[in-house]
Every structure is written in structure tokens, then in C-alpha cells.
A and B are shown apart, each in its own frame.
Chain A
Amino acid sequence: KAGVTQTPRYLIKTRGQQVTLSCSPISGHRSVSWYQQTPGQGLQFLFEYFSETQRNKGNFPGRFSGRQFSNSRSEMNVSTLELGDSALYLCASSPLDGAYEQYFGPGTRLTVT
């Protein structure tokens, strides 16, 4: 099976702009989670989607949003970008309701200038 894919792999944006990141889970996986990884804060949970519904949300401002499509593909959007949003954004998919084993994609490296 193909692994989790994320596009684009690298992105450079300017403060105030918005960005959309895409994630395609492993075939058959219905749960998709998003994480932000930075040297200062480590790996932080953003949100989790299952069957097109957001089930859980981490402690991030409303500028961070996401959605999941009927084919389980997911997108996350960050509006009004700030310098502190520069990070590696990781998507992970899971085959089970309740998200036991998670399989991560390679991430999207976002740089905000």
C-alpha cells in the first residue's frame, strides 16, 4: 500500500497570507490527524477528522482549520499567517476508529517570512 502523502512538501509564504495543505491517507484509513512540529514546542496535536467530521481539536487559534472529504483526503488551512506558524505540518492516518496505530506522512515544511 502507498503511504500517507502530503502536498506540497515545501512552502514559503508571507505574513498575512493564507495557506492550504493537503493530505492523502493510506487507502482504507478513515481517521486523519494533523500535527504541528517545531523545535520549541515539539509535536502538537491540531485536529482529527473521522468520516468527514472533526472529532477532536487541539489548543490552536481559529486561524487553523481543516476538513475531510468523502474519500478521506484532508486539507488544513491557516489564515492570516504569522511568523510563528513556520513549522513542519504532519498528517497521520489511522485505520481504526479511536486512532490506535498512526502512520505519518513526510510533512509539509512551511516557512513564513
Chain B
Amino acid sequence: GENVEQHPSTLSVQEGDSAVIKCTYSDSASNYFPWYKQELGKGPQLIIDIRSNVGEKKDQRIAVTLNKTAKHFSLHITETQPEDSAVYFCAASRAGGSYIPTFGRGTSLIVHP
């Protein structure tokens, strides 16, 4: 089955710095890669996703890149703010009838004011 590795497990940055979280996956058939942000006491919130026919996607301060050959994808957050502090999860799946997503173990991002 699919295996998703996520690094680092903890990331501490100063406000205004950039943050990068990386994930690797094992199943070359995976074609949908979402990123979620989970704040304390809440469920994960979809913040950005990318499909295998695209190499990069941006949404304001957030961007995701995908390298299908190397089977890795990354989340980039620029100009970090204290409200970006949360746990971030990556996931990989084959979008379609047999959808069973595999999640990374999460990255705790701490943004110091």
C-alpha cells in the first residue's frame, strides 16, 4: 500500500520567515496530494491541493510543488504569521472509486512573533 513520509515533525520559525514541509510517497499511481492545517481542538482544514498533472500551485502565501519522478511534494509558506502556527498534514491518494488516502504524520509549525 501507499506510504507517506513527512518531515520535519516540528518546525520553529520567526514571524516573516518562510517555512517548508516535505513529503514523499511510495505509490506511483497516486495522483492527488492535499495539504491540511489542523488547529488545536479543530478538525483538519484543506488549505491547498495539487493533482499529478500540475507541477506547482499557489494561493497567496501558500504554494505546493510536486515532483512525480522523485515522488515528493512540498508545502511552502512565505511571510509566516503567528496564526500560521498549527499542525500540517500531507496526504496522497488515487482519486477515483477506490479512494483511500494515506496521511503523513504531521508537522507542528510554530511561528514566533
Which residues of A are found within 8 Å of B95, using beta-carbon distances? 98-100
Which residues of A are found within 8 Å of B45, using beta-carbon distances? 104
B105 part of interface (Cβ distance < 8 Å): yes
Across the interface, do B99 and A56 meet the contact criterion of CB distance under 8 Å?
yes
Interface centre among A58, A97, A104, A106 (most CB of B within 10 A): A104
Q: How many residues of B contact A (CB 8 A)?
A: 23
Over the window 4-43 of chain B, the binary record of Cβ atoms lying under 8 Å from chain A Cβ atoms (1 yes, 0 no) is 0000000000000000000000000000101010000111
Binding site for A on B (CB under 8 A): 32, 34, 36, 41-46, 49, 89, 95-106
Binding site for B on A (CB under 8 A): 4, 42-45, 48, 55-56, 58, 90, 92, 97-107
- 10 closest Cβ pairs, A-B complex: A104-B43, A43-B103, A99-B99, A98-B96, A104-B44, A42-B105, A106-B43, A107-B43, A100-B95, A98-B95
